[in-house]
Structure 1
């Protein structure tokens, strides 16, 4: 056994030596024998393997179920998709395009739109959108996994949703089905919706939907509308710089709208140009050209002229054709951009040179033709804290003050008075039932004694105006004002003569235009026609309305002449024009809360109001002061290039005084009191004439 054992060990050692020699030759180690696992290790390994098998089993089934759900959801969204043509216009309302008197577009309202297919727009625009929104658009299947992963990482780090990571197709899905909120649920729903889009439409068709449905600020839906809105050209013609600016709107339409901040929009566009260059869509030379010559707004967009006028026209038409229209319409207006610029320059000139810097005083201006066609409108100044949407020319009801005296004297003239008839300027007290004694005061607190009507009117003497109104009859004064177009409620008491009633600037300017318009009533208007944009069909016409004769020839002539004396010798001296005849009237209300000047030349009627929105009294301002100066500066600029023409008047003849206005005894007792029967007769006759003229015209 010893020998056997030795022999056994010897053979083992010999075998080991041979194995060692073999390793030396081959460089390989003989595999070790597999070690046996302990009980704990076997349990742990078995458990881990079991978990992996469960995960695999569950994951496989979840994936299968998920794929089924995704497929069903995709099929559902695909079934909801109408034909391409129905997806290109997703607006809920229509658009309104406003053109000026020469047919040029000057303003837009509603949801502007213009349908264009992707193959019809400028390649620069397509490239700018792809470079900005989804550089892998042509290669992914609707969802950009890389972009989604990047956005998920950013959101995870920030703890909130700050980046969408949506592909362009997902953005189209959002436009079609989802709101603009960023939630996990919406992001999940976007996936099958995007797959459905890719399933049904080609990449070009998806781009077409996007091009037509993206909102790009300033009421423009779609790139064609935005291109027309900002650049006055089709999206098929935009340059690289313009394409970059349009694409830059996609991130934040209001923030980057060039009409809000052109410099910011150009800065954003420069970033887009850099992306286009980096991705090979622009050569170095093209990119340098785009950066050196950034996009600029069209003249109409840059001017942003006529905003107050456009809003007024929109409010003057029926809602279903203007503010709530479901059609795309064109409104042809009376607006004149040259006159608008002139009015703005005139107002600005006075505020820059005559008013303390930082003043919050407001002003409004209306310019119209003698037939009531409004040519320009300023609804207020852009001052700190002011409501820019409030149009003080059309919405602000303000006391008219001495402007109303024009209707008082018109009523007297209509009853046979002459501008040279006597009237007393002396203290006056009237007992007002329910209120007691009322004693009007002159602005100067002085009295001139007996004067004639034209002097009382030109110098805006209060006591005389009240006497004239009482003599002519308050009802007749009210009827004249209403016949000339004042629609606001008119005061009942004797203070009617001093403009205690309220009216808007556009309404009062229209009433004065009626005086220039040969005494025929004028209805201020801004719309000439409203048409469908698609086929040009006229849906509605505007205009001055049927002529209604309010003042006869003699009365109108005498009244215009008296208004010229306001400027020549009275309170309106600062409104005197250097090269043409003008007529007008000043107006200042109690405590100088409102100051007015309305007047006209042969070609234009201009109304000016000045005051504070909160009714704070003006300091040292009357209608014959700053408003008259604003009127003059506006009128000088408006009439540039317009040949001077005389007003359609002749000086009235002096004749024997009538008894319409009594001179009185100086104490105001019974002075200027008309015959009650005559007053009633005049009122009845006025009402009858108004009804007949309204039904059958001025003849």
Structure 2
């Protein structure tokens, strides 16, 4: 009979313990060996770690990187500025730094500084969670020691080798120095922007006091800057700086460092900052130098530390002779006792290169660059953009006529009216053409023109010419009622001088590192935005501004070369924007606080323009504006706008885009029309370049 494992009653019989233990013996032996191996590996790792730490402890830290002077050069290769920070790095002991600055820095940069050994594991884990949630590197977790290692010994390149070295140097710093010593090193070398390294230099730069004297409000503002000096410096962006100050104060409250009342009081303090640029008060083109630094950092992405101490060379477009002419013209153009301000920007229209820039009368007392101020109405200097639109659209020609008389215009489908007036209420009471309107700056003609072509098209033209300031499609746009910057106006007029080709204004040609490797090479954007024929006709019309009866005629004798331009005057602003074939220049004069101009003050822009233009081009022979194809010149009767016959009492040589010249003839029936070779109008050509131009037309 067969044996069963169940026995009587079918109950299951358990195996003896010894048999069951023998069954698990192989697995237990494997686990035992695994623990032995793991222990051995762990022991080896401990030995290796201690050996590595011992090795690091016996190795000297590397010598910290030495800054090199960076240079900015003009177009002739002359140094116009240097960047070096050794003079502005002032080390002080930790006890000479305000406790408020120490606590503010720890609160925003490394709250667990005194608890970790160089690496904040909790902070790293927290940052990793945030970054995973956002699928981006939204939060970092570098400790003060890590930042110190990176800033003292390494570059800011993002490579694994750099990160490994940073970790090694972080460990060495923690083993070599105490926490207070590390904190002192950090606060004495961290970059606070604008060339200031360390708390003492920063306190002097921003507040004109020692680091030991900083208040809670000052400290919280200062502690926020190293995260990104170009974003959080109060000189660069006060709103960003103030928001970060509030964040730091709130964090200090959360950490129990200060009370909420302390934070609220500090947040409400109106801080007094030192004027920026005290070390750069003298020298050539201070406003231009500031602009180049801004472009290099904000637009080209050059690291501010590299700019300050990396030994780079910035080659600029500045013309030293033109810059001196600009500074001299502004200085001579306004009495020394006057508070009136001025701005001048000059661009080579053929290349877009900025040749001269004056942002104000005294950089020492005010570093605000008015060249880029988009708060000034251009007045009538905007009108050439309107007239170019009319020429391009084919809606008008130089002999299109409107009556110069008080007029009420209706717009918005008749629901609104607009009643402009001429300066001093002066009207001819008769019909005038485009040349007469530009020369005399007739407002009624301008508004008639914008009503004919449409304000939307004028705005489109302004955008093509490089003007991006806000504008609205209203009739008053014709009279320059929407603010623009001198920079935009010079760029737009440069397009007129460059046969309708708009080239992006350029200040930096190239940037080289300390080894001569090119970091940046300028490639200005260029576009043909309007035809050469249309811009040439406009230029011919704008030359009348400097002829008898024109608004710029009082300075015509100062300029010994062909020039075109337009004046502009409002209650608070006066302009002259003009150009030769080599330079397009915008000059603005006015007051920073919109104070109204007297008649004498409003007349100062034109002499500054004339003085600068002639002096800047003193070594350049006068040139005619090159005449493109598609242009014709015929004699017209100014009274009727028709072709002038030989029997006409008066005649004027006028320029047209081919195909738009008048075909109807005034004078006796069958009488021949005048030609460009007819001497009958020679008496009207008063300047030698006009005579040459007429010869060229023949």
For Structure 1 versus Structure 2, the TM-score category normalised by the shorter chain is 0.5 to 0.7
- Structure 1 distance, partners of 2:194, 2:292, is 18
Displacement of 1:382:
1.8
Which residue is 1:413 aligned to? 391
Secondary structure in structure 2 of the residue aligned to 1:587: strand
- Please give the residue correspondences for 1:230-241 in structure 2 after superposition, counting only pairs within 5 Å: none
Which residue is 2:519 aligned to? 539
* In the alignment, structure 1 residue 348 sits paired with structure 2 residue 326: no
* Correspondent of 2:355 among 375, 378, 385: 375
Which residue is 2:687 aligned to? none
Which residue is 1:568 aligned to? 547
Which residue is 2:616 aligned to? 638
Which residue is 1:554 aligned to? 533
Displacement of 1:255:
13
Greater relative CO (CA pairs within 8 A, separation 6+): 1
Which residue is 1:619 aligned to? 598
**Kept in 2: contact 1:319–1:325 (CA 8 A):** no
- Structure 2 distance, partners of 1:412, 1:633, is 32
Which residue is 2:322 aligned to? 339
* In the alignment, structure 1 residue 610 sits paired with structure 2 residue 589: yes
**Kept in 1: contact 2:313–2:514 (CA 8 A):** no
Displacement of 1:596:
0.4
- Structure 1 distance, partners of 2:376, 2:552, is 20
Displacement of 1:502:
1.3
Cα distance change, pair 582–80 in 1 and its aligned pair in 2 (3 A): farther
User: Residues 212-263 of structure 1: CA distance to partner in whole angstroms, max 9, x if unpaired?
Assistant: 9899x994889xxxxxxxxxxxxxxxxxxxxxxxxxx9xx99999xxxxxxx
- Please give the residue correspondences for 1:680-695 in structure 2 after superposition, counting only pairs within 5 Å: none
- Please give the residue correspondences for 1:168-179 in structure 2 after superposition, counting only pairs within 5 Å: 174=91, 178=94
- Structure 1 distance, partners of 2:194, 2:289, is 14
User: Residues 422-478 of structure 1: CA distance to partner in whole angstroms, max 9, x if unpaired?
Assistant: 222122212344983220000030221201111011111000000011112212211
- Please give the residue correspondences for 1:215-226 in structure 2 after superposition, counting only pairs within 5 Å: 219=195
**Kept in 1: contact 2:286–2:363 (CA 8 A):** no
Which residue is 1:101 aligned to? 75
Secondary structure in structure 2 of the residue aligned to 1:319: helix
- Structure 1 distance, partners of 2:555, 2:295, is 31
- Structure 2 distance, partners of 1:602, 1:425, is 32
User: Residues 471-525 of structure 1: CA distance to partner in whole angstroms, max 9, x if unpaired?
Assistant: 1221221111111111111222110100111111011101000110111113211
Which residue is 1:124 aligned to? none
* In the alignment, structure 1 residue 455 sits paired with structure 2 residue 433: no
Secondary structure in structure 1 of the residue aligned to 2:503: coil
Which residue is 1:481 aligned to? 462
Q: Which structure 1 residue ranges, 5 or more long, are not aligned?
A: 1-75, 115-170, 187-195, 201-208, 223-248, 257-299, 661-699
- Please give the residue correspondences for 1:90-169 in structure 2 after superposition, counting only pairs within 5 Å: 97-109=71-83, 112=85
Secondary structure in structure 1 of the residue aligned to 2:71: strand
- Please give the residue correspondences for 1:269-308 in structure 2 after superposition, counting only pairs within 5 Å: 304-308=283-287
User: Residues 288-333 of structure 1: CA distance to partner in whole angstroms, max 9, x if unpaired?
Assistant: xxxxxxxxxxxx9895112111222222345385674342232211
Secondary structure in structure 2 of the residue aligned to 1:485: coil
Secondary structure in structure 2 of the residue aligned to 1:331: strand
- Structure 2 distance, partners of 1:595, 1:380, is 15
Secondary structure in structure 2 of the residue aligned to 1:426: coil
- Structure 1 distance, partners of 2:632, 2:612, is 27
- Structure 1 distance, partners of 2:545, 2:58, is 72
**Kept in 2: contact 1:415–1:472 (CA 8 A):** yes
Secondary structure in structure 2 of the residue aligned to 1:359: coil
Displacement of 1:83:
2.8
Displacement of 1:391:
0.5
- Structure 1 distance, partners of 2:291, 2:58, is 41
- Structure 1 distance, partners of 2:58, 2:401, is 84
- Structure 2 distance, partners of 1:506, 1:581, is 23
Q: Which structure 2 residue ranges, 5 or more long, are not aligned?
A: 1-53, 103-171, 177-184, 209-278, 642-698
* In the alignment, structure 1 residue 508 sits paired with structure 2 residue 482: no
* In the alignment, structure 1 residue 330 sits paired with structure 2 residue 313: yes
Displacement of 1:602:
2.2
Secondary structure in structure 2 of the residue aligned to 1:106: strand
Which residue is 1:403 aligned to? 381
Secondary structure in structure 2 of the residue aligned to 1:653: strand
TM-score (norm 1): 0.54
- Structure 1 distance, partners of 2:57, 2:481, is 67
Cα distance change, pair 423–641 in 1 and its aligned pair in 2 (3 A): same
- Structure 2 distance, partners of 1:88, 1:539, is 21
- Structure 1 distance, partners of 2:85, 2:596, is 43
Which residue is 2:426 aligned to? 446
Displacement of 1:81:
9.4
Cα distance change, pair 575–220 in 1 and its aligned pair in 2 (3 A): farther
**Kept in 2: contact 1:342–1:634 (CA 8 A):** yes
Cα distance change, pair 396–304 in 1 and its aligned pair in 2 (3 A): farther
Cα distance change, pair 651–626 in 1 and its aligned pair in 2 (3 A): farther
**Kept in 2: contact 1:527–1:543 (CA 8 A):** no
* In the alignment, structure 1 residue 490 sits paired with structure 2 residue 471: yes
Which residue is 1:150 aligned to? none
Displacement of 1:637:
1.5
Secondary structure in structure 2 of the residue aligned to 1:521: strand
Q: Which of the pair has more CA radius of gyration?
A: 1
User: Residues 122-174 of structure 1: CA distance to partner in whole angstroms, max 9, x if unpaired?
Assistant: xxxxxxxxxxxxxxxxxxxxxxxxxxxxxxxxxxxxxxxxxxxxxxxxx99x5
Displacement of 1:383:
8.5
* Correspondent of 1:527 among 505, 508, 523: 508
TM-score (norm 2): 0.54
Cα distance change, pair 435–534 in 1 and its aligned pair in 2 (3 A): farther
Cα distance change, pair 529–642 in 1 and its aligned pair in 2 (3 A): same
Secondary structure in structure 2 of the residue aligned to 1:427: coil
- Structure 1 distance, partners of 2:58, 2:370, is 49
User: Residues 59-111 of structure 1: CA distance to partner in whole angstroms, max 9, x if unpaired?
Assistant: xxxxxxxxxxxxxxxxx9x96995342x243x7xx9753211122221235x5
* In the alignment, structure 1 residue 431 sits paired with structure 2 residue 418: no
User: Residues 175-217 of structure 1: CA distance to partner in whole angstroms, max 9, x if unpaired?
Assistant: 6x8485389xx9xxxxxxxxx99xx9xxxxxxxx9xx9899x9
- Structure 2 distance, partners of 1:541, 1:377, is 22
User: Residues 596-636 of structure 1: CA distance to partner in whole angstroms, max 9, x if unpaired?
Assistant: 0011122212210011111111111576x210011111112
- Structure 2 distance, partners of 1:306, 1:628, is 22
Secondary structure in structure 2 of the residue aligned to 1:502: coil
* Correspondent of 1:314 among 269, 293, 300: 293
